[in-house]
Amino acid sequence: MKKPVVGVIGNSHRVENRFAVQMVGERNLRAIAEVAGALPLMFAGCPEITEIGALLDSVDGIVLTGARANVHPSRFKTAPDPKHEPYDISRDDLALSLAEACVARGVPIFGICRGLQEMNVAFGGSLHPEIRELPGRMNHRMPRLENGEIHPDPTVIFADRHDVSLIKDGVFARLLGCETIRVNSLHGQGILDPGQRVIIEGVAEDGTIEAIRIADAPSFALGVQWHAEYDPQRNPINRTLFQAFGEALLVRRRAA
């Protein structure tokens, strides 16, 4: 049997501030290829280029990756603020509809960081643009030096920074065989109000929602707030998640 194919959403970017491109972090592609056992194919996060029906006819699963851009606040009835830019409106237009379509068609979907946020908004939920501004919350953004620059060492940036408590007998707890895990943290935006079908499966020590599933989804439909793509080759938590995604891909391919 041929390898399953996974569509990986692209992000809008400009090279030299002139040339419009779509890009995907290589770690996402390697996680899919090396751990989920699938062929990763990037698709444009732009509805003028990517037609959802044709895309889902061509792949066995979808990964909604993390990204620098925030989901635009108009998507959850909140006024935008320049300090929360950048935004990627084209990706919003595609990803929110795509998340719903995947669940409706039983196509496995794995949301990572922004991907979790997109899944929540797609099902009617809202986000807070800066989780750290809420009372009692920690700073979930990536570590910086004293001068404000992003820390130059990726092992520091992606180091595990806080615990996540998983609901007893939930999908994550059953997959991972435990009820507490430790994860990295590189986000500003986060879930405020869960969507109608969004089930909270994991919460950080400060109350930030870190793991979700979509209720009654016919296939894998999980989202994580941390960057699981960073180290699944050696991190047992992230490896298990990508392997479970890979197993769902095989089920989907056999049923096609």
Q: What is d(CA 170, CA 213) in angstroms, rounded to the nearest whole number?
A: 9
**Cα diameter, the chain:** 54
Q: By C-alpha distance, which of 38, 19, 15, 20 is closest to 28?
A: 38
- Give the catalytic positions in this structure: 113, 227, 229
Q: By C-alpha distance, which of 255, 252, 256 is closest to 62?
A: 252
CB 76 within 8 A of CB 84: no
Kindly state the tokens that stand for 106.
Answer: 């039983």
User: Would you call 186 helix, strand, or coil by DSSP?
Assistant: coil
